[in-house]
Chains A and B, each alone.
Chain A
Amino acid sequence: AQSVTQLGSHVSVSEGALVLLRCNYSSSVPPYLFWYVQYPNQGLQLLLKYTTGATLVKGINGFEAEFKKSETSFHLTKPSAHMSDAAEYFCAVSELPSDMRFGAGTRLTVKP
């Protein structure tokens, strides 16, 4: 069965610095991969997704992620952090419409 591991439950960066949130997955078939963001007291919102085709995926708010099959990774990056990026980020993998597995989440803190 597929699974997701997010490395680092907490990440802290300075405003303007690079954001890198790590995600590794395991899957027996080519998976669909997702990053969701959760702001305080809100539901999960899709940031970006990889389905097929181009391995570098661009999402909302300047985030992007690269699917690396050889490394089974789908790390999330943003060149320059904003204060508004402070939130919890979840990586997820799905082989079937009914089966999405979420990582434990990474809480991003942005320091002024």
Chain B
Amino acid sequence: DAGVIQSPRHEVTEMGQEVTLRCKPISGHDYLFWYRQTMMRGLELLIYFNNNVPIDDSGMPEDRFSAKMPNASFSTLKIQPSEPRDSAVYFCASSLRAVYNEQFFGPGTRLTVL
């Protein structure tokens, strides 16, 4: 298996622009997580899905953030409009309930908002 795939790996945009981050989880995994990592706040859980259904989005910082999972093999995290404080590394992870909750992480998307 190719592991969790994220695109793009790097994104540089200007304040006010819409940003869409993409994730392909490991095939067969039933949980998908979006995290944000910054120096100040460390690793934060933004939202997670179970069987494509959003379960807990309490970590989403503002209404500017939204996430979807239209099918078992694809998820997006959208920021509209983007702000400089959104600059961070965004990770997607997936897991299979039956395997002791282990999460497999993608390589991350480094977002810079100018």
Binding site for B on A (CB under 8 A): 32, 34, 36, 41-46, 49, 51, 90, 94, 96-98, 100, 102, 104-105
Q: State the interface size on chain B (CB cutoff 8 A).
A: 23
Chain B contacts for A97, CB-based, 8 A: 31, 95, 97, 101
What are 22 A-B pairs with beta-carbon distances under 8 A? Answer: A32-B102, A36-B105, A42-B107, A42-B108, A43-B4, A43-B91, A43-B107, A43-B108, A44-B93, A44-B105, A45-B105, A46-B104, A49-B100, A49-B102, A51-B100, A97-B31, A97-B101, A98-B31, A100-B45, A100-B101, A100-B103, A104-B42
Kindly state whether residue B114 has any CB partner on chain A within 8 Å.
Answer: no
Within 8 A of A (CB), among B8-31: 31
